[in-house]
Structure formats: C-alpha cells, structure tokens
Amino acid sequence: MTNDLKPPPESATQLPADQTTTTTVGKLSRNYDVMHVVLRIVSLSASLISIAVLTSAKEKSTVLIYGFQLSLYSKWSFSGSFEYLVCVSAVVAFHSLLQLVMTSSRMLRKSSIFSSRNHAWIIFASDQVFAYAMMSAVSAATGVTNLNRTGIKHPPLPNFCKPLHSFCDRVGVSIAFGFFNCFLLAVSTVLDVVWLTN
C-alpha cells in the first residue's frame, strides 16, 4: 500500500528586514531637512535685521577740528561699502527665502529637500558663493567703520564715532549680523556636503 500522504510543505522562514537601519537613515534625513529649514529661517532673519539696522543709520552732530566747530551728517548711503553690504544682504535674504519655500514645500510632501544630486550641487555652490560675497561685504564695511573709529593719523583727523556714536553703533550691529550670516551659510554648505555623501 502506497502512502499517498505528502509531507507538509516546509514553512518559508524569512528574517525580518533590517528596519533599524532604514528608520535611522530616515530620521537622519528628516533631521537634516529640519536643520536646513531652521538655517534658512535664521539666515533670512539675520539678513533682514542687518538691512533694517544699516538703512536706518544716519545722524547729525558737530566736531571740533583745529579749533573750528564743524557740522557732521552721516548716512549709510554715503559709503559704497555700506551700500554693498545692503545689496549682498538683500540677495542673501532672497536666496534664503527661495530655499525656505522650496524646502518647506518638499518637506510637506514628505520628499527629500533636494530633487536630485545636481540640485544639491547647485545649492552647495550657491551657498558657497553667497558666503564669500557676504564675507567680502562685511569686510569692506568693517574697514570703513574701523577708519571712522580710529581716525586718520596723517593728516590727523578725529574719531568720528565719538560725535556719531549712534550711527557707528548701528553699523556695528549690522556688520555683526553680516558675520553671523557668513557662519550660517558655511553651516548650510556643510549640511549640503553631508547630504551629498549619504
């Protein structure tokens, strides 16, 4: 008598997929996305503050030179370096706003903040260009402000920031936010590199 009973089929055993790695990568990617958004918001705010403070910098006063009382009037637009800082800050603000809108919209759709590696390379390059431009602008503005504070020794000219202290203080605050913006753009560049290496 033949045994028609077939052995029970072997149970297919599957090891569970390594969800830990996938979850970790997803969390890291989401953290990078959030950091990008925060950086754009802070960079946009720093740019707008720098512009607002600098464009409101103007003051009238008097100074005594060789026994003569001279009236002084200083305004941010009298210096090409300050105008350059305002222009670069405005461009960086526009760049930050544009990236913030694009990044936020992609995050709401739960997709990567970069559509492709080419897109990431473009953002990386633009962040670097704007960081260097901002550094150039704040360096030029710092040179003019330092000259106002120290005066010129030959021929001797006074420290113009003593009678125009409010003007110089506003310029100093604007320059400080400009340097802070350089740092933010540098951090953004580092995040771009981290994204490209993953």
* Gap between the Cα atoms of 116 and 13, Å rounded: 38
- The burial class, CB within 10 Å (0-12 / 13-18 / 19+), for 89 is buried
Torsion (CA) 54, 56, 57, 62 in degrees, nearest 10: 170
Residue 65 confidence (pLDDT): 65
| pLDDT recorded at residue 179 | 93
For 41, residues 6+ apart whose C-beta sits below 8 A from its C-beta are 96, 100
Tens of pLDDT, residue by residue, the chain (198 residues)? 555 555 555 554 554 544 444 444 455 567 777 888 899 999 999 999 999 999 998 887 776 666 667 777 788 888 888 899 999 999 999 999 999 998 888 888 877 777 778 888 888 899 999 999 999 999 888 877 765 555 444 445 556 777 777 888 888 899 999 999 999 999 999 888 887 887
Residue 83 and residue 75 in contact, taking contact as beta carbons nearer than 8 Å: no
Q: What is the pLDDT of residue 32?
A: 76
Domain range summary for the chain, segments of one domain joined by +: 28-197
Q: According to the model, what pLDDT value does residue 149 have?
A: 54
pLDDT at 3: 55
* Half-sphere exposure in the Cβ direction for 197 (13 Å, CA): 8
